[in-house]
Amino acid sequence: MVYDILIKNGCVVDGTGATRFMADVAVKDGAIVEIGEVTGEAKETIDASGKIVCPGFVDPHTHYDAQISWDTLLSSSSEHGVTTVVLGNCGVGVAPCKTDQREMTKADLITVEGMSGESLTAGINWQWETFPEYMDVAEAQQLAINTAFLVPMAPFRTFVLGEEASERGATADEIDELTEMLNTAMNAGAFGFSLSLMNQHIGWQGKPLATRLASKEELKAYSRVLKQLNRGIIEVAVVKEIGTLGQDEYDVLDLLLTESDRPVSWLAVFNRMDRPDAAANMLAKADPLIKRGAIPQVLSRPLTAEFSLNSNPLILADTIAGQVLFNRPVEEIAATCRDAEFRKQLRDDMDAGSIFAGQFPATLVSSVQNPELEKYVGKTVGEIAAERGTDAFDTFFDLALEDNLAMRFVGAAANNDWDRIPELINDPRTMIGLSDGGAHCDMLCEAGYATFMLGHWVREKKAMSLEYAIKRITSEPADIFGLKDRGRLKVGYPADLVIFDEQNVGSDARPTVRYDLPAGAPRLYSQAKGIERVIVNGKSIFRDGEPTGIQSGKVLRSGEYA
């Protein structure tokens, strides 16, 4: 046999958590055909001496739904060794969508996921109306990596209820139509459905994201579709206050588990500086649900965001007062920010439980447009407030106004305590992910979470073994989503492989800015280090950190795994 690829002398970490071992790996016709001491000819032989050979990483939480229209690499995830991504999270997406609903659909992506409206207008090709048509378009795009799709229920509700989707629950007839559409999408290959119940998730005209208006009867009906099919997963953004699992949120998870009899992945568990035991308390409260299949998602580093008030003030979206700043001209936003009554109401709202409450003093000024304000770049709002003898909350808004709201800030809303992150990423009850790849492009970029974890937590901090870390980002998410042939190095499985240098793998804690979105919009980009080869379905899509131009990804369909 002449192999397509023969990887020689590598140290294999197979994704199961088993101890690493020395072996060759042979690939033929897109699959792994031998693991061990392999002899024979190959079209390409790779010397992996001193390198790790492992399964491609599986990212369970991305938002590349729009980006597939203009970026077949799905960057920057692919260069970090991610070979499979799950799209359609948090209830938002681009399908289904009628022609006259495109602005409403884009508004969800702009306000919930922080995407550029100009980029969406210029970049989405809208070659679909139904969800199965959208999946077919994705397949025709011939992407570089594999994609698995969740059904986002916000555009489904908008498709059926129109503008009223953000105002009311569905009628019995509408529920029937929605469940029939969901069933059709599942039969087309979707891996489940997603929704958001979070207060900060708002959409068209500043109204609640459509899934927040779904009634219990709707949720039961959606769940029963999965129960009848006996496949699929539910993903739900449910936690309204970081570090707290409220009883209503607990009850929703209970309902979804009971009615679907399927796994329910939920957002999210973070630690908090002001309440050190918050994450542990959340997990303890959720433990009865976790034992039934409720899987909390966690992040491998602080939840840090870069933002300004003139584009998408997402940090204020979970407050009633802050929601008036969305989808408005800069002049109106500025007038509101000057208003003393607005500031008072916002203070009260944030004190009542905002994710950004108490974070203004530590918020950093990252860039300005007004040259007279350059002296503040690199300083925290708290430091500037001390210089001025003012309050950090007011100083934040004063600074933004002095720069015509263009000033950009960096703030950490959660996971601020680095010392407690290992508790979350080592806990087998959790699922590591939350990259949000494709979303919040001007605010954050966690696409490098896997390489960061391998570099920082495994090599530098020795907080977990390499074998366990790789298991957590390969076979574990693959198993949760029912991707039975991904996430492991095993003879007969598709050849999704990563070769990396254990001593150099990683990614920077802060991403860089690139102006490569449609219409020239900026995005934050995470560059990988130490990834020498990324192989998808037996073909190399990255070699020595550079794309090869090969696009060998597949649209994975749930029916193939039933």
In this structure, what DSSP letter does residue 363 have?
P
Are 72 and 203 part of one and the same domain?
Answer: yes
Q: What is the pTM of this model?
A: 0.90
- State pLDDT tens for residues 174-226: 999 999 999 999 999 999 999 999 877 888 887 899 999 999 999 999 999 99
Is residue 75 a part of any domain in this protein? yes
pLDDT of the residue at 547: 98
Domain's final residue, options 414, 449, 470: 414
Lowest-confidence pick of 39-48, 233-242, 258-267: 233-242
β-strand pairing of 42-47 with 3-12: parallel
- State yes or no: pLDDT of 245 exceeds 70: yes
* Domain membership of residue 383 as a residue range: 306-414
Query: Mean pLDDT over residues 328-349, rounded?
Result: 92
- Tokens encoding 89: 């999270």
- State pLDDT tens for residues 129-169: 999 999 999 999 999 999 999 999 999 999 999 999 999 99
Angle formed at CA 458 by CA 456 and CA 64, multiple of 5 degrees: 65
Residue 205: left (phi > 0), alpha (psi -120 to 50), or beta?
A: left
Are 239 and 264 part of one and the same domain?
Answer: yes
Is residue 553 a part of any domain in this protein? no
Is residue 242 a part of any domain in this protein? yes
Report how far residue 44's alpha carbon sits from residue 66's, in angstroms, rounded to the nearest whole number: 35
pLDDT of the residue at 355: 67
Coil, strand, or helix at residue 383? Answer: helix
Is residue 151 a part of any domain in this protein? yes
Confidence of residue 240 (pLDDT cuts 50, 70, 90): confident
Q: Which residues contact 325 (CB under 8 A, 6 or more apart)?
A: 309, 313, 316, 333, 336, 337
Are 243 and 336 part of one and the same domain?
Answer: no
Are 200 and 93 part of one and the same domain?
Answer: yes
Query: Whose CA is closest to 552, among 78, 123, 64, 42?
Result: 78
Full 3-state SS string of 22-88:
EEEEEEECCEEEEEECCCCCEEEEEECCCCEEEECEEECCECCCCHHHCCCCCCCHHHHCEEEEEEC
Partner residues linked to 27 by β-bridges: 5, 32
Report how far residue 385's alpha carbon sits from residue 126's, in angstroms, rounded to the nearest whole number: 47
Is residue 16 a part of any domain in this protein? no
pLDDT of the residue at 302: 84
Domain's final residue, options 414, 436, 465: 414
Are 406 and 463 part of one and the same domain?
Answer: no
Largest distance between two CA atoms of the chain? 77
Cβ–Cβ < 8 Å for 165, 158? yes
Half-sphere exposure of 449 (CA within 13 A, CB side): 30
pLDDT of the residue at 312: 66
Query: Whose CA is closest to 509, among 418, 424, 438?
Result: 418
Is residue 522 a part of any domain in this protein? no
Coil, strand, or helix at residue 486? Answer: coil
Note the residue count of the chain: 562
- State yes or no: pLDDT of 14 exceeds 70: yes
pLDDT of the residue at 326: 77
Confidence of residue 243 (pLDDT cuts 50, 70, 90): confident
pLDDT of the residue at 562: 74
Confidence of residue 537 (pLDDT cuts 50, 70, 90): very high
Report how far residue 405's alpha carbon sits from residue 311's, in angstroms, rounded to the nearest whole number: 9
Are 404 and 428 part of one and the same domain?
Answer: no
Are 252 and 314 part of one and the same domain?
Answer: no
Q: Is the peptide bond before 268 cis (omega within 30 degrees of 0)?
A: yes
- Alpha helix segments (H runs only) across 339-485: 340-351, 381-388, 392-402, 421-426, 449-452, 466-473, 475-480
Is residue 486 a part of any domain in this protein? no
For residue 284, give the CATH number of its domain: 3.20.20.140
pLDDT of the residue at 200: 77
Is residue 245 a part of any domain in this protein? yes
Q: Which residue has the higher pLDDT, 403 or 116?
A: 403
Confidence of residue 349 (pLDDT cuts 50, 70, 90): confident
Domain's final residue, options 384, 414, 444: 414
Are 225 and 330 part of one and the same domain?
Answer: no
Angle formed at CA 182 by CA 181 and CA 186, multiple of 5 degrees: 120
Report how far residue 445's alpha carbon sits from residue 447's, in angstroms, rounded to the nearest whole number: 6
Lowest-confidence pick of 18-32, 282-296, 337-351: 337-351
Mean pLDDT estimate for the chain: 93
Query: Mean pLDDT over residues 378-391, rounded?
Result: 95
Count structural domains, the chain.
2
Are 126 and 262 part of one and the same domain?
Answer: yes
Report how far residue 153's alpha carbon sits from residue 89's, in angstroms, rounded to the nearest whole number: 9
Are 265 and 338 part of one and the same domain?
Answer: no
Are 399 and 421 part of one and the same domain?
Answer: no
pLDDT of the residue at 33: 98
Are 250 and 343 part of one and the same domain?
Answer: no
Confidence of residue 324 (pLDDT cuts 50, 70, 90): confident
pLDDT of the residue at 194: 98
Q: Which residues contact 283 (CB under 8 A, 6 or more apart)?
A: 269, 290, 296, 427, 429, 430
